[in-house]
Amino acid sequence: MNNLRVLQIIDSLNTGGAEVLSVNIANLLSKKGLESHLCSTRLEGDLLSSIHKNVGYIHLNKNKKIDIQALKKIKKYIKMHKINIIHAHSSSYFFACCIKIIHPRIKIIWHNHFGLITKIKGKNLYAIKLFSYFFSSIIVVNKNLLNWSLEKLNCKKVFYLNNFALIDNKEKTTVLKGESGKRIVHLAGFRPDKDHETLLKAFNCFLNEHKSWSLHFIGKVYNDDYSKKINYLIKEKKLEKHTFVYGSCLDIPNILSQATIGVLSSKSEGLPLALLEYGLMKLPVITTNVGDCNKVIINNKTGFVVSPEKITEFTDKLKILVNSEESRTNFGESLYNHVQNNFSPNVFINKLIKIYKQ
């Protein structure tokens, strides 16, 4: 085990699911006694403070597709620390392959978190098929990605590995607005695949009967057309007194301790960490049936699973949870036990180390 020297590579340290997972993996590997490193290629972010002191860290400030200076810098770092495995997350596989070209002995493991990748066609698909020749192994977060990888890509060592969540941040900086005991929380960055629009419309219908409840958006807000569209919708529906946007936050346990219901309204997913984080805090949950969400939220057992982009269906399930404290409690307890038994960090990291050794 001590011969393994692993470098996690991620584009940024913003508080997205893949970013959180890369930091958590680096920290857990260090705790297991491995020499563990992490590289952010383009941007740093709020997660920088979450990296444990025993984890080696390098930031490259890469600002173009093929950045020669960044490649020289990371090659020097890899040689200095005798790193033999690159664990590349999501879109950082391209940079990892560039490293492989100038440092052929390195092994690349690609961790694909992105559910929508199965929709790509044409030159984008051809490119990733070509780069997959460089991969020693691929890790995927749901069965759909597993089947797609085996069918479309040229690396046939593909492993399906459940995500995991850690609740270890003890900060208490964020105070949620709204009435205690009547807060709905949505953990997701402002991206089109997260479909805040459907959730807002469902919440607007729900408010007709439950005017004292509030909706809270936690996640990075990008200065793009989608974020502007969601902010406009909040104003158009006159939801400013009931809907609150907080941006990126690190104190997720503190936030969820103030919440009553957790929701996810995505049109596409891998296996979202948000659902696992809800479970660790014993929240009742409503999620859409995309990716492997139904592996975490088992309909009518650990929460409610609804069809994506179905406003009425989402509204109806919200009403059921709000009107039944018993259902909320039972769902929360069942989800907590399910997450503890099936999505634990220890199970994940032990399986990951076996993949590394192969």
Same domain, 215 and 151: no
SS3 for 285? strand
Alpha helices in 103-142 (DSSP H): 122-131
Is residue 241 included in any domain, yes or no?
yes
Same domain, 20 and 47: yes
Same domain, 267 and 210: yes
Residue 307 phi/psi, 5-degree rounding, is: -75, 145
* Sites in the chain below the pLDDT cut of 70: 1-2
Q: Are 164 and 204 in contact (CB under 8 A)?
A: no
Same domain, 350 and 324: no
Same domain, 125 and 189: no
Residue 138 phi/psi, 5-degree rounding, is: -125, 135
Q: What's the CA gap between 203 and 263, in Å, rounded?
A: 11
Domain count, the chain: 2
Same domain, 338 and 353: no
Containing structural domain, residue 121: 5-164+343-357
| pLDDT tens column, 135-176 | 999 999 888 899 999 999 999 999 999 888 887 777 899 999
Same domain, 120 and 32: yes
Same domain, 349 and 314: no
Across 126-213, the runs of DSSP E, i.e. the strands, are 135-140, 158-160, 183-187
Same domain, 302 and 350: no
Q: Which residues pair with 261 in a beta bridge?
A: 184
Provide the pairing of β-strand 135-140 with 304-306.
unpaired
pLDDT computed for residue 16 by the predictor = 84
